[in-house]
Amino acid sequence: MKTLILNGSPRAGGDTAALLKAFTSALAGEYMLKNCFGADISPCTDCRACRVSQSCALHDDMQEIYRCLAECDNVVIASPVHYGELSSSLLSAAGRFQLYSSAMIFRHEKPNVTAKRGAVILAQGGSGGAERAYETAVLIFRSIGITEVMPMVCSGNTDRLPAAEDKAALSAAVSLAARLNG
């Protein structure tokens, strides 16, 4: 089993990282963890080259994500909640999935994505809901043909209880891995 994990947190040892540590410690098979923040990933410029070509015109770190999506079983979107949404670096990377939308809509081809299951791991301070971020993640998954999305794992009050100490969220992250393993 192969899992692609897209992490949108800017904090290397932050709350999302704590949840991912618990998750990956219980996850079977191989995984590729891509930290979107600081990666060489340009936003989609809507150049529309992918409406006629099978590849993205931008050559940066997204190429390794595209390669991983062509052979993995699961995709995990992990992010802090920023203004009720997924982080900007996560959204910026996900915008490059336009390649797959173009495959379906304009080139009438199946997107080159093997993954069947999606999962969402979120951390938020506690000043708002994470539902919008989860819904956005579901939309992103749909845009690459993934319709089976697990319920979200969220540490929802990190201003008062850091995710690394949030036993319920850490345990939910481990259970999520077990579910994917099964």
Ligand X SMILES: Cc1cc2nc3c(=O)[nH]c(=O)nc-3n(C[C@H](O)[C@H](O)[C@H](O)COP(=O)(O)O)c2cc1C
Residues in touch with ligand X (CB under 6 A):
9-11, 14-16, 80-84, 123-128, 158
Chain centre distance of CA 107: 25
Taking the complex as a whole, the smallest distance from the CB of residue 27 to ligand X amounts, in Å, to 18
118 or 156, CB closer to ligand X? 156
Residue nearest to ligand X (CB): 14
95 or 125, CB closer to ligand X? 125
35 or 102, CB closer to ligand X? 35
User: CA 34 to CA 43: how far, in whole Å?
Assistant: 16
Taking the complex as a whole, the smallest distance from the CB of residue 118 to ligand X amounts, in Å, to 19
35 or 143, CB closer to ligand X? 35
Tell me which amino acid residue 127 is.
Answer: S
Q: What is the dihedral of CA 121, 4, 115, 140, to 10 degrees?
A: 50
Tell me which amino acid residue 20 is.
Answer: L
Taking the complex as a whole, the smallest distance from the CB of residue 162 to ligand X amounts, in Å, to 8
Taking the complex as a whole, the smallest distance from the CB of residue 18 to ligand X amounts, in Å, to 8
CB 84 within 8 A of CB 124: no
User: CA 152 to CA 122: how far, in whole Å?
Assistant: 7
